[in-house]
Chain A
Amino acid sequence: MKSLEKLMRKLEPTHESKWAKFHPVWDALYTFAFTPGETTQKGAHIRDGIDLKRTMFMVIVALIPCLLFGMYNTGHWHYVALGTAGEYTDLFADKFIYGLIKVLPVVIVSYGVGLGVEFIFCIRNKHAIQEGFLVSGMLIPLILPADIPLWMVAVATVFAVVLGKEVFGGTGMNIVNIALTARAFLFFGYPTMMSGDKVWMSGIADASKDGLVADGVTGATQLGELATFTGAAEDWTHTSISAFESAWPMWNSFLGMIPGSIGETSVLCVLIGAALLLYTGIGSWKIMTSFVVGGLFVGWISNVFAVNEYMMLDPFNHLLIGGFAFGAVFMITDPVSAAQTSTGKYIYGFLGGALSITIRVYNGAYPEGVMMAILFMNVMAPMIDHYVIQANIKRRLKRLKTA
């Protein structure tokens, strides 16, 4: 490896060379391959072993179970829609390969376009390329439906990276979560590709044109079906909430055997990721637990004051369906857009969870509330921090008066 290191050092563009402005690109590649021999010059002479690369890498590792399961699940619902495989274990390899073919291009486009934009901005601004997008690039595919056209992924990624991050100054400066910005862009810009009954099972849109959809398959997600409860009784998919609960056993929702965005369905895989993030100390347990508590709280309140069928849904079921678990572990915890004070994190997480379920249950127009709730809380996080810090300042002033 010494020789490779020497070779890369030799290729480093100098100030005078015509490649000088591409130094950030060289730096990104070099620091990817090697931890540089940079030593401490001021202050503490020794430093913690962790760096941003390692941190981001751990999050990506935590996302891998979700990605793999998402590939399989994509294939599964494709075959279910076509009526060729009802059981979960049928055609295992075919399903995975179908999912791989569907999902991998989305991942590649998201990374390629996002990193491309990031490189351009860093070269222009003469900044080192920071690692922030490594995680965003993986999150974006996981929260999109598998049938999303690749050009939409590209446009949404460009939008998210430029307007969500680079205009504020790049990694560490963004106000809202990048991946959710991309999703929100598609949600409002191309609603037909992001909601309704024709997008959550891969290939169902084409199949329905040709009349190939299996009997009894509507293509709706659980949240779509639940949302019908907010309408008139004749539009209900199920006759009652208990009919819904028996149609979608909670165990299946926990394992992820439900239609939905690519990576969000399996609570089990999300929990594996959560375990890794919490054990390594990279994810914030304060935000994760308070988000779940907030969701349970509103779910419970709804139960108590239930005036319609939807409000009677078991609060624990709320945690298992849709993107709630994925949001709790990977989205709301994004340290840059979250609250930064310890107390603020509890408040931020709780309100995020509570708002997610509130939007779900009380707003029929948006069957899933997690994205909206987290984006809203991202915007509110600085205000939460402001009040937490003001409390600290008041405490300090009070000390002076009593002394």
Chain B
Amino acid sequence: MSRTIKLRKGLDIKLQGEAEKVKITAKVTTAAIKPTDFHGLIPKMTVKVGDKVKTGSVIFFDKYQEDIKFVSPIAGEIEDIVRGEKRKILEVRIKPDGSNAAEDFGIINPDSMDEAAAKKALLANGLWPFIKMRPLDVIARPTDSPKAIFVSGFDSAPLAPDFDFVLHGEKEAFQAGITVLSKLTAGKVHLTLRGNGTTDEALKGVKGVQTNTIFGKHPAGNVGTQIHHIDPVNKGEVVWTVNAIDVALIGRSILAGKFDSSRIIALTGSEVSKPKYVKTHIGATIATLVDDTIKGDNVRIISGNVLTGDKVTKDGYLGFYHSQITAIPEGNEASFQLSGGGWLGAGTSKFSINRSYFSWLTPNKKRVLNTNLNGEIRSFVVTGEMEKVFPFDIYPMQLIKSTIYNDIDLMENLGIYEVAPEDFALCEFVCTSKIDIQDKIRQGLDVIQKECM
């Protein structure tokens, strides 16, 4: 039984620099796996600097769940293990040696797998980290039995890659990925597609899933929104989520019998001279992807989208889960009150959900927004603004406040089990008081993980 959901709340932020539907292939570069991409993970290294690895060779595993392995995206040599404070491992860098050597784990027919075989294949070959769990929004625990698995068929974030374009021609791989995932749950696998707009062949007629449709603005494409409206998570329940692009990656790897780290990413943002799609691999160096296309120096490069991505430098690496790089101008210059960027100005270049700036005259204009906070951090004063962009039956401000003052009972009652930080990205965007809401929600989830899970 498929479901159709219509959202009335939400917000599409229209930005300049949407990727053109052109695909180029970047050369294989130094890659890095960043343990910090996996929230809460403590890695145990299995390799040393100088070791030779193949694509798919295990480089570290989860200290507390040793089954979960993380593998090298390319073949080469461990160049460096970068550590930060308290010797926390930040990056494991792998220099390519030009070979295509890959660990061969044998081609398995996804249809003939049972649950144990599917789990084993995913865990041993570095494919497990693509599966995340709700609550908590961390890597799924292999010991759980999820009541359902959710896959979002599109990304509605600003300038997000078009899954129809990225997954075009991957029907077989996508189907294989879905088949493997369907072995992991006794419940359903939900694939939710965009209501308004087209859907590529690859995502149509997929077997073994319940296909749902969702209409509305961002965050319609967020899997959290879809879970909430289709089969919400209650206390004690677990659902798993996988990004559609990663479903195809899992499928490709299983069909080929080896880890396939290739990934098509969208190069977007107003500061990219020719926004386009680039075929590269997980953990690729940012510099080789963007180097000659970034305008100017005062630019923020983001691995991911503008709402939830991570700030990276040109020397940095693409995040494990990210299929997008965005470059927007830094807004690190003060502006006089009456000027364009000032608080008393006409504000035709500012974007706001309120109509207090004259930018409301051009609601459909694609804008260049910078990283300025556009104000100072304040107490919560304005109410009702978050509700406009938060399509959940949850009181956002009350939940945020409960995470700030650490009331576990209240967090549970208000629905902390259903949300991930990314669900609050728009709340954070619209917040008049400029509070770092995603960070607060993450802190709340950390408390819940420690005390209740």
Contacts and interface: CB of A to CB of B under 8 A. Distances in A.
Interface size classification for chain B: 35 or more
Nearest to A339: B383
A50 B334 contact: no
Interface stretch (B72-80, B246-254, B373-381): B373-381
Given A33-B337, A40-B373, A54-B356, A49 B311 contact: no
5 contacts: A39-B331, A44-B438, A54-B356, A281-B353, A286-B384
Contacts of A36: 334, 373, 376
A132 interface: yes
A242 B337 CA distance: 54
A53 B378 CA distance: 10
Interface string A337-353: 01011100100000000
A391 B217 CA distance: 27
Contact of B234 (A41, A172, A399): A399
B330 interface: yes
A171 B331 contact: no
A39 B372 contact: yes
Contacts of B330: 39
Given A39-B372, A48-B429, A280 B381 contact: no
Contact of A172 (B370, B381, B425, B429): B381
Contact of A52 (B371, B429, B433): B433
Nearest to B373: A38
Given A393-B413, A395-B393, A130 B379 contact: yes
A338 B383 contact: yes
B200 interface: no
Contacts of B347: 49
Given A54-B356, A128-B378, A171-B378, 11 more contacts: A34-B336, A36-B376, A41-B311, A43-B436, A47-B428, A48-B353, A49-B374, A53-B375, A55-B381, A340-B397, A400-B234
Given A52-B432, A130-B379, A39 B355 contact: no
Given A54-B356, A171-B379, A45 B311 contact: yes
Contacts of B398: 340-341, 385, 389
Interface string B414-451: 11000001000100111111101111000000000000
Contact of B372 (A37, A170, A340): A37
B432 A48 contact: yes
A284 interface: yes
Given A45-B300, A400-B234, A389 B414 contact: yes
A335 B373 CA distance: 22
A50 B375 contact: yes
B232 interface: yes
B438 A42 contact: yes
Interface in B293-330: 300, 302, 306-309, 311, 326, 328, 330
Nearest to A285: B384
Contact of A5 (B334, B415, B425, B428): B334
Interface stretch (B23-31, B32-40, B206-214, B338-346): B338-346
Contacts, number: 213
Contacts of B439: 42-43
A131 B371 CA distance: 23
Interface size classification for chain A: 35 or more
Nearest to A49: B350
B437 A172 contact: no
Interface in B128-168: none
A342 B342 CA distance: 31
Contacts of B431: 47-48
- Indicate the member of A5, A40, A48, A132 with the most B CB atoms within 10 Å: A48
A45 B328 CA distance: 9
A35 B335 contact: yes
A5 B336 contact: yes
Nearest to A51: B375
Interface in A1-60: 1, 4-5, 31-55, 57-58
A49 B351 contact: yes
A108 interface: no
A33 B343 CA distance: 9
A143 B351 CA distance: 35
Contacts of B302: 45
A163 interface: no
A171 B342 contact: no
Contacts of A35: 334-335, 337, 341-343, 372, 374-375
B294 to A, nearest CB: 15
Contacts of B1: none
Interface string A359-377: 0000000000000000000
Interface string A261-301: 00000000000000000011110101000000000000000
Given A34-B334, A55-B381, A47 B374 contact: yes
Contacts of A282: 354, 356, 382
B2 interface: no
B285 to A, nearest CB: 21
A130 B376 CA distance: 9
B21 interface: no
A12 to B, nearest CB: 12
A342 B379 contact: no
A173 B381 CA distance: 8
B378 A393 contact: no
Contact of A43 (B335, B384, B397, B425): B425
B13 A46 contact: yes
B387 interface: yes
Given A45-B306, A335-B383, A396-B234, A38 B376 contact: yes
Interface string A315-343: 00000000000000000000110101110
Contacts of A130: 378-379
B372 A38 contact: yes
A243 B309 CA distance: 70
A130 B350 CA distance: 22
A192 interface: no
Contacts of A42: 436, 438-439
